Structure 1
Amino acid sequence: MVRGKIQMKKIENTTNRQVTFSKRRSGLMKKAYELSVLCDAEVAVVIFSQKGRLYEFSSIHDMNGTIERYDKHVKKGQNSKSEVQQCMEVRKLPSLNRTTYR
């Protein structure tokens, strides 16, 4: 049995969209974990849901270390805050809506 192709557009039904988000988020986290274990890679994934919840995965226990390592490799061309800096500020917020996968 062959799966049909999925058209890349926003899912209009909110229930279906939430179910798809949850399943694909779990699949992405699993793939990130597998990549980190099988290839000994340093992996970090940050996902914000539509409602603003933060979901994260880091192959090392300190995601800030991965973000800082990434930040060293990014060229600083703008005076405004980079997305990495904004992400680091989010890490300082209370973990009210935070779910961590390990």
Structure 2
Amino acid sequence: MGEITEYRIQQIVDNGQIVQMALEEDVHTEPVSQKQLIMESIAKKLDPEMKEQVTPILEAILQAQPTIKVKSYQHTTITITMPKNRYERMGRPQVGEKLEINLKKIS
């Protein structure tokens, strides 16, 4: 089974005969509150009875925690080198545009 992922073009190098594109996985992270991250982390470590006792106290303490954007996601990057005529046949994509790439093992 293949995984089709969108990649955003970060850089294009064209030497006249060969085109090289640097691509980065196009991933959007959702804002998450620090309170939510802390509560989830603590919930995993406590037994249900203890969690029930601690949760109201933690919610009161963490009430004003800001919302942050998760930035720890590891992006996949790919560099592709191809003949210029193939690059032109695919519509000459430019920096900032997206490409769809299907990665799968062939047996």
Q: Same fold (TM over 0.5)?
A: no
Higher strand share: 2
Structure with greater proportional helix content? 1
TM-score for both structures, normalised by structure 2: 0.19
Which of 1 and 2 has higher RCO (CA within 8 Å, sep 6+)? 2
Greater Rg, structure 1 or structure 2?
2
